[in-house]
Amino acid sequence: MSWDGGLRRQGDDAIQLAHYRRMLEACGREAPVNLGGIIGTEAHVTWHDLDEQKYRTPPADPSAKTKRRSAMERYDFEFGFRIDIADTATRATGPDDPLLLVEPMRSTECAGCKWDGYCSPIIEADSGDVSLLPRVSYQQWRRLRNNDIRTRQAQSFSVGSLFEPSQWQPFRMALIEFTVVRDFAASSQVLWDAMIDWPGHGDWIPATRVVVDSGTGTEVGETFTGYTGYGPILLVDRMRVNAIEWNETTGHGSCEVEKLGPVLKGQAGFVVTGDSERSHLEWFERVTVPYLPQLLAPVVNKMGAAGFSFGMRSLAKSLERAR
């Protein structure tokens, strides 16, 4: 991982520095340059150029390309958006008033949030918000909402109708879906670093090598490709980072990638939790495989899960050796 990539992964630090920068400006104590330093536990200062456009940010229009922005630009956008949220909420006092700009969704942050008492009854009303389904990322939640799918019940009807054709076109495509979990005798930071080291996956996933195609492969929109197999029998698996989030303080991180084909299409990702001693990984795959009869899906599910379990055993051994 390059130094620049390491700094980009500390994007939350840069946003915090941008916040201090704006506060210093407000009281007329700002420095002439947008530069901030963080003193870490290693007693080193890590300097962030807050004007450097190094953070890839998703566009408002999902079909548009991602764009690199600076920490100051990200901060100003996020801060302005929060003011708009509060402004709209104070004006929304009745059914004819403007719609709220944000709605509650279940996330890992809810447990420690003081607004949980307000949000939970809304999230859990009726059959429950779609965010209560396991492993629904913000991007997936947003897509479902954009298609007016808001509740778990509506989502189950939607998924049902989506896969109905497989009943009468059994050789067209199969849905492969499995989750593998494992505990590791390594800190969550060590496990997280290993998981986002895409080329490093080749060390523990059998017959696989991974090449990062754009950036470091650790920012939203960046891509990488997995090659699994030997000689001419090679499965090419192109992927794009849909969402990635690491919280150093809580030791919690999650990453979701979109499988772009040419064979496997769908989503995959993982969640890392733990502390400075132990960690836990939950890895999921939800992909479609063309030309595979759906009736063989359970067999392929088991094979896929077994393959990943084997890979995780290898990863666990290598992390333990490195301790």
Site residues for ligand SF4 per CB under 6 A: 104-105, 107, 109-110, 113, 115-116, 119
User: Distance from CA of residue 13 to its chain's centroid?
Assistant: 18
CA proximity to 19, closest of 92, 71, 86, 85: 71
Question: Residue 122 Cβ, how far from ligand SF4 at the closest point, in Å?
Answer: 8
Shortest Å, Cβ 109 to ligand SF4:
4
Distance CA 225, CA 238 (A): 4
Q: Are 130 and 137 in contact (CB under 8 A)?
A: no
Give the integer Cα–Cα distance in Å for 180 and 308.
Answer: 7
Give the Cα separation of 74 and 122 in Å (integer).
30
Q: How far is the CB of 86 from ligand SF4 (least distance, A)?
A: 13
115 vs 157 by CB, closer to ligand SF4: 115
- The CA distance from 100 to 218, in Å, is 32
Of 116 and 197, the one with the shorter C-beta distance to ligand SF4 is 116
Pair 152, 130: CB distance under 8 Å: yes
Report the Cα 170 to chain-centroid distance in Å: 32
Q: How far apart are CA 181 and CA 23, in angstroms?
A: 43
Name the residue nearer to ligand SF4 (CB basis): 131 or 218. Answer: 131
Q: Which is nearer to ligand SF4, 4 or 84 (CB)?
A: 84
Is 38 or 110 the residue whose CB approaches ligand SF4 more closely? 110
Nearer to ligand SF4 (CB atom), residue 110 or residue 132: 110
CB of 49 to ligand SF4, least distance (A): 31
Total length of the chain: 323
**Cβ at position 135, least distance to ligand SF4 in Å:** 17
Least distance between ligand SF4 and beta carbon 236 (Å): 39
Tokens representing 133 are 């389904």
Report, in Å, the least distance between residue 46 CB and ligand SF4: 28
- DSSP assignment letter at 300: H
Query: Do the Cβ atoms of 7 and 48 come closer than 8 Å?
Result: yes
Closest to ligand SF4 by CB, 125 vs 207, is: 125
Tokens of 114: 């003081």
